[in-house]
Amino acid sequence: MANTILETPKMLVIQAQLGEWDNLNHLLVCKSTSSAAIIDPFFAKYWIEVCSDNGWTLSQVWLTHSHWDHSKGVEGLADREVWVHELEAERGWNGPSNHEWKNRENTPVIQRIGNLEIEVHHTPGHTPGHVTFIGEGVVVSGDCMFLGRCGRTDLFGGDAEAQRRSLIHLKERLKRAPEDWLVLPGHQYALSDGRNPTFITVGELLNDNEALNALHSDDAWHNLEFLSFDDSLAEKARREKARSQTNQSQ
C-alpha cells in the first residue's frame, strides 16, 4: 500500500513496499505542477494507477541503480523520461532508458521535476553508476546506504573502496542538511536496537549508522559483515566478473 510519508508546501513523498524482495519505491510529486517522478519502480502498472487516481502526471523515472529489483518496472514506463547514470553500462545495463547522468564520482548534478530541484550524487560502490538523491527534505539512498548500514559491494561491478569514498562524501553532505530531513532507503532492514522503520531522520542516521561510524577506521571498515556475503548472488557475481575479464582479453 502506498503511504504519504512526507508533505511539505512544495512536495508530496509517497512510499510503497513492493515485490518479493520488499523493495521500497518512492514517488516525488511537485504539488504546484502535479508532475511526479518515480524512483526505482518495481511495478509500472501500480504507479501509473496511483498517479492517475490522484491526477498526477508521471513524467520521469529515476533509477538509483540498475539491479533487477530496482529497475523491473522500467519496461512499462519506457515512454517517460527514464534516467540512469551512464556508468551502469559497466555492469551490462542497456535500457530501456533514454536519459543519462554523467557526473563524476561523488559529485552532484541538479535534476528537476516540476518546481522541485533534487541533487543527484554519483555514489558508486554497490554498482558503478549508483546515485543518491538529496533535496527538498529527503535523501533517497537506494542500496548505497541503508538506515543502519550500507549495501553490499561483492556483486558484479561492486567496489568496497568506492563505497567507502561514497559514504564519506554523503556523510559530509548530510552534516550540512537539516537533521529532520528523512532518509529513504531501497530496502528495509532492522536497526541494531531492534526497530525496523522504513525511514529515519538524517540526525538519527548520522548518529547510529554502523557503516558511517566505521568510515575512518580501516579495521572497523574491513570488519563490517554486510559488505559481502557467501551466497548465490556472490557466486553469480564471480562468474560475471570472470566472463567480463575473458571478453576484455579477447
* Per-chain mean pLDDT for the chain: 95
Q: Give percent of the chain above pLDDT 90.
A: 90
For 168, the grid coordinates are: 564519506
Q: Which domains are assigned to the chain?
A: 3-249 (3.60.15.10)
Q: What is the pLDDT of residues 77-114, one digit of tens each?
A: 999 999 999 999 999 999 999 999 999 999 999 999 99
Q: Is the pLDDT of residue 179 over 60?
A: yes
Q: Is the pLDDT of residue 196 over 90?
A: yes
Residue of 159, 150, 171 whose CA lies nearest to 224: 150
Question: Residue 11 and residue 248: Cα distance in Å, rounded?
Answer: 46
Residue of 104, 69, 59, 98 whose CA lies nearest to 82: 98
Whose grid coordinates read 535500457?
Answer: 95
Q: Is the pLDDT of residue 227 over 60?
A: yes
Q: What angle do CA 184, 188, 194 make, to 5 degrees?
A: 115
Question: Residue 228 and residue 234: Cα distance in Å, rounded?
Answer: 8
For 233, the grid coordinates are: 548472488
Q: What is the mean pLDDT of residues 172-196?
A: 97
Question: Residue 138 and residue 23: Cα distance in Å, rounded?
Answer: 18
Q: What is the mean pLDDT of residues 56-83?
A: 98
Q: What was the pLDDT predicted at 232?
A: 83
Before 96, cis peptide (omega within 30)?
yes
Q: What is the pLDDT of residues 141-169, one digit of tens each?
A: 999 999 999 999 999 999 999 999 999 99
